[in-house]
């Protein structure tokens, strides 16, 4: 990717002396995380197929009344495989093949729960505002070819798979939705969770294709932990993260598609802040690369029409409830990020920091209820002549 | 400060080559901010009195229907001046003298609105759980010696001064409060804002001294912008930041007192996330240094009793509504951080990103209202045998 550097952390590692690097990383990342080692077979597969695989261990304390609940969670970031001029079926099948390889590697690495990037079966074509052929990528969450494929793999690998797709609600007027499908390790569709907040910024013309999600803030109680999915732009809304926490989530995935000039300085802040504020783990996943479309489109930025959208900067990372985070995956390469976590750490951090106990929800409900009244006035104290 | 390094950013500046440093800073800090230059008189005063002064310019676009609303906002971080064994009056007077010098420098730098650190007139003695002599530092928000001093200086310097103190509510049963007093540039007490969330973690035994604040989320419409104050531990609560935003704040100050081992990896995340999520400016202020108390106390961490509390790591910084932030002040030295901002940038970022428009408050109020009902059950989808 011309002009794009690959990895932020490598710059730090290459130039800062070891004794100072320790301080820098403590400030930037929090508690130090050990690396996970994977089998030669897993490493060979990743190397052969051209993607990174990185793993880290989040330490938790031992408890006397609960056994550890150690699981491995993961996220996948990747480029599209075929040019956007290939047929819809060819493009989707090529993505299926690519993800099959990475899921196979994840299985070799002992992953229990995994999530792909937002709308993973397709290019992020919403920049074009064209309906065809892009709407054809939409499929049934329950019966589509992507779900069918993943049900088989979930059973084969004993893995919970979270599959963010463009959904076609066939039974409800063929409406499109931006949806994450939760497939259990027994191969069942446990349910789905939709994107609650839809952007209208830059090339993200998604409100042209689908509306705000109507599935609320469901948490899915899987065999490997309670998970929820906050899709892409929902990460900018702390109240969205909070409601997943209030429903009991232990891990919240944030499958995304976002580009450098727009959001990169925000990327390392938002999912991490959510982990801290809600005492749970977050897995932030972004796609990689530049996507070039057949017809030109404009970006509402005063610049000439063009055919490319990106650079999607990857940089997927995982954060623990104490704010400790992994380094990021590459900004330019496909990759698989894995964390070994003890779900018990969520409650341990709640007991230590007490954010839930001190949350004062009653105060906020009262204030928010009055804000929604037509005669509400903001609580502003103004300087007056006689004050 | 033995064993404490002084400045995180200096390590980056010293070791990373210029071409790569540009990338690193873009990822870490967002849009590049130019430095503000100050007069020789201001610099000499800072140097003579032994504190840092740093300033930055946040750029905003020109508009055609509104003139720029450029103001200079600032925060002060500092160590206590006298040993905690000095008398209460001596300690307070020494702090007054120290802050007078720094406020004088701020005036020379053209500052319009300034905020001191939490409970700035006293050591952060809440670690001791002793009531005497520490409660004697409390004073009236309206008529206390600290407010009186600052009213004079506010008029003299034409400056809005936000003064976070331990308040004694003399007319309401002598109760203590953790309160920020807002003093206008005309020398009036415009009002006060109390700490909404009180910690129970580590040495922060503040719930022994005062209760959760009862002033809600007031915004103060001063001659230099609409300001609010989120005191210390309130920064861990995104819903707290949100309500100041909903009431129209353009700048939210976060006067704090927090120590390295506990919160440092969270420090650069939370106030910055709040600026992003709410499209306003935030000023995060932390005290500096180690404070040693006359009697020993324990820290509920299994370790022996001791007399020291700290290291408070300073690192005060300012963030804009687009997520761009200044470097931090020192981790060990007193300092004054200043930003020249155009308040118009808040609305510009709202128009671009649309976080307020897409906030869906009605959805959250509905869900929160049901959460408060006694028969509420979390929205959990569980795998069942027949699923």
- Answer yes or no: do B277 and A238 touch at CB < 8 A: yes
> What is the structure's pLDDT at A173?
96
- Closest chain A residue to B351, measured at CA: A201
- Answer yes or no: do B248 and A380 touch at CB < 8 A: yes
Mutation site, B238, B351, B352, B384, interface A, largest A CB count within 10 A: B238
- Closest chain A residue to B24, measured at CA: A8
Residue with tokens 């800062």: A16
- Closest chain B residue to A182, measured at CA: B381
Mutation site, B6, B13, B15, interface A, largest A CB count within 10 A: B15
Q: What is the pLDDT of residues B63-107, one digit of tens each?
A: 999 999 999 999 999 999 999 999 999 999 999 999 999 999 999
Chain B: give the shortest CA distance to residue A200, in Å. Answer: 7
B376 has a chain A CB within 8 A of its CB: no
Strand partners, B308: B292
Mutation site, B201, B284, B379, interface A, largest A CB count within 10 A: B379
State the pLDDT confidence band at B4, using cuts at 50, 70 and 90: confident
Averaged pLDDT for residues A306-334: 96
pTM of the model: 0.96
- Answer yes or no: do B383 and A247 touch at CB < 8 A: no
Mutation site, B186, B203, B362, B365, interface A, largest A CB count within 10 A: B365
At A372, phi and psi to the nearest 5?
A: -80, -10
- Answer yes or no: do A24 and B8 touch at CB < 8 A: yes
Averaged pLDDT for residues A58-79: 97
Chain B: give the shortest CA distance to residue A135, in Å. Answer: 24
> What is the structure's pLDDT at B2?
44
Q: In this prediction, what percent of chain B has a pLDDT beyond 70?
A: 98
State the pLDDT confidence band at B360, using cuts at 50, 70 and 90: very high
Chain A: give the shortest CA distance to residue B386, in Å. Answer: 10
> What is the structure's pLDDT at A1?
39
- Answer yes or no: do B238 and A238 touch at CB < 8 A: yes
| Res A71 pLDDT > 50 | yes
- Answer yes or no: do A184 and B226 touch at CB < 8 A: no
ipTM of predicted assembly, 2 dp: 0.94
State the pLDDT confidence band at A251, using cuts at 50, 70 and 90: very high
Six-digit token pair at B298? 């324990």
Q: What is the pLDDT of residues B197-232, one digit of tens each?
A: 999 999 999 999 999 999 999 999 999 999 999 999
| Res A383 pLDDT > 90 | no
Averaged pLDDT for residues A184-211: 97
Q: What is the pLDDT of residues A255-276, one digit of tens each?
A: 999 998 789 999 999 999 999 9
A221 has a chain B CB within 8 A of its CB: yes
Q: What is the pLDDT of residues A144-184, one digit of tens each?
A: 999 999 999 999 999 999 999 999 999 999 999 999 999 99
- Answer yes or no: do A359 and B246 touch at CB < 8 A: no
Q: What is the mean pLDDT of chain A?
A: 96
> What is the structure's pLDDT at A136?
98
Chain B residue numbers touching A332 (CB-CB < 8 A): none
- Answer yes or no: do B26 and A265 touch at CB < 8 A: yes
The whole-angstrom separation of Cα A375 and Cα B60 is: 33
The whole-angstrom separation of Cα B166 and Cα B178 is: 5
A58 has a chain B CB within 8 A of its CB: no
| Selected residues 287-306 of chain A with any CB under 8 Å from a CB in chain B | none
- Answer yes or no: do A236 and B355 touch at CB < 8 A: yes
- Answer yes or no: do A217 and B265 touch at CB < 8 A: no
Chain A: give the shortest CA distance to residue B24, in Å. Answer: 6
Chain A residue numbers touching B359 (CB-CB < 8 A): 197, 237, 239
Q: What is the pLDDT of residues A1-28, one digit of tens each?
A: 346 778 888 899 999 999 999 989 998 9
A374 torsion bin: left (phi>0), alpha (psi -120 to 50), beta (else): alpha
* B293 three-class SS: strand
Chain A residue numbers touching B385 (CB-CB < 8 A): none
Task: Describe the strand order of the beta sheet including B281-286 as a list of residue ranges.
Answer: A380-382, B219-222, B225-229, B251-256, B281-286, B317-319
- Answer yes or no: do B379 and A218 touch at CB < 8 A: yes
> What is the structure's pLDDT at A70?
98
| Res B1 pLDDT > 60 | no
Nearest to A265 among B30, B212, B237 (CB): B30
A356 has a chain B CB within 8 A of its CB: no
The whole-angstrom separation of Cα B263 and Cα B201 is: 11
Nearest to B221 among A184, A188, A381 (CB): A381
Mutation site, A273, A279, A326, interface B, largest B CB count within 10 A: A273
| Res B385 pLDDT > 70 | no
| Selected residues 159-198 of chain B with any CB under 8 Å from a CB in chain A | 182, 184, 186, 188, 190-191, 196-198
Chain B: give the shortest CA distance to residue A223, in Å. Answer: 8
| Res B254 pLDDT > 60 | yes
| Res B7 pLDDT > 90 | no
Catalytic residues of A: 118, 195, 232
| Res B327 pLDDT > 70 | yes
Q: How many CB pairs under 8 A join A and B?
A: 250
- Answer yes or no: do A200 and B357 touch at CB < 8 A: yes
Averaged pLDDT for residues B243-262: 95
Is there a contact between B161 and B183 (Cβ–Cβ < 8 Å)? Answer: yes
Three-state secondary structure string covering chain A: CCCCCCCHHHHHHHHCCHHHHHHHHHHHHCCCCEECCCCHHHHHHHHHHCCEEEEEECCCCCCCCCCCCEEEEEEEECCCCCCCCCCHHHHHHHHHHHHHHHHHHHHHCCCCEEECCCCCCCCCHHHCCCCCCHHHHCECCCCCHHHHHHHHHHHHHCCEEEEEEEEEECCCCCEEEEEEEEECCCCCEEEEEECCCCCCECCECHHHCCCCCCCCCCEEEECCEEEEECCHHHHHCHHHHHHHHHCCCCEEEEEECCEHHHHHHHHHHHHHHHHHHHCCEEEEEECEEEEEEEEEECCCCCCCCEEEEEEEECCCEEECCCCCECCCCCCCCCEEEEEEEECHHHHHHHHHHCCCCCCCHHHHHHHHHHHCCCCCCCCEEECCCCC
Chain A: give the shortest CA distance to residue B101, in Å. Answer: 27
Q: In this prediction, what percent of chain A has a pLDDT beyond 90?
A: 94
The whole-angstrom separation of Cα B218 and Cα B234 is: 14
Averaged pLDDT for residues A345-363: 97
| Res B371 pLDDT > 50 | yes
- Answer yes or no: do A269 and B266 touch at CB < 8 A: no
Poorest-confidence range of A24-28, A48-52, A318-322, B288-292?
Answer: A24-28
Of A142, A153, A59, nearest to A114 by C-alpha is: A153
Task: Describe the strand order of the beta sheet including A225-229 as a list of residue ranges.
Answer: A317-319, A281-286, A251-256, A225-229, A219-222, B380-382
Catalytic residues of B: 118, 195, 232
> What is the structure's pLDDT at B386?
53
| Selected residues 224-253 of chain A with any CB under 8 Å from a CB in chain B | 226, 233, 236-239, 241-243, 246-248
> What is the structure's pLDDT at B3?
61
């Amino acid at each position: 990717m011309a002009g794009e550097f690959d990895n932020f952390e490598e710059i730090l590692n290459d130039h800062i002396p070891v004794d100072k690097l320790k301080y820098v990383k403590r400030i930037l990342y929090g508690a130090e995380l050990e690396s996970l080692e994977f089998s030669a077979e897993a490493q060979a597969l990743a190397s052969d197929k051209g993607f990174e695989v990185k793993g880290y261990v989040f330490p938790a304390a031992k408890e006397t009344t609960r056994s550890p609940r150690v699981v491995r969670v993961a996220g996948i970031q990747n480029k599209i495989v075929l040019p956007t001029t290939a047929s819809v079926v060819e493009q989707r099948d090529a993505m299926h093949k690519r993800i099959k390889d990475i899921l196979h590697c994840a299985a070799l690495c002992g992953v229990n729960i995994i999530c792909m990037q937002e709308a993973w079966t397709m290019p992020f074509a919403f920049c074009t505002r064209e309906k065809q052929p892009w709407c054809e990528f939409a499929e049934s969450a329950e019966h589509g070819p992507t779900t069918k494929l993943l049900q088989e793999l979930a059973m084969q690998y004993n893995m919970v798979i979270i599959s963010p797709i463009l959904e076609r609600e066939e039974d409800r007027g063929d409406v499109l939705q931006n949806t994450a499908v939760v497939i259990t390790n027994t191969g069942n569709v446990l349910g789905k969770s939709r994107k609650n907040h839809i952007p209208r910024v830059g090339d993200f013309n998604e409100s042209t294709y689908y509306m705000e999600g109507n599935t609320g803030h469901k948490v899915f109680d899987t065999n490997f932990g309670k998970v929820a999915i906050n899709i892409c732009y929902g990460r900018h809304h702390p109240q969205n993260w909070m409601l997943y926490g209030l429903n009991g989530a232990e891990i919240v995935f944030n499958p995304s598609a976002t580009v450098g000039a727009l959001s990169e300085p925000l990327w390392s802040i938002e999912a991490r802040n959510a982990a801290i504020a809600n005492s749970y783990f977050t897995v932030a996943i972004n796609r990689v690369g530049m996507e070039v479309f057949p017809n030109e489109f404009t970006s509402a930025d005063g610049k000439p029409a063009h055919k490319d959208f990106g650079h999607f900067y990857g940089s997927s990372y995982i954060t623990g409830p104490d704010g400790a985070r992994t380094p990021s995956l590459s900004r330019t390469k496909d990759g698989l990020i894995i964390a070994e976590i003890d779900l018990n750490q969520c409650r341990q951090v709640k007991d230590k920091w007490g954010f839930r106990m001190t949350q004062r929800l009653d105060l906020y409900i009262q204030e928010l209820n009055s804000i929604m009244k037509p005669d509400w006035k903001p609580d502003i104290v103004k300087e007056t002549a006689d004050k």
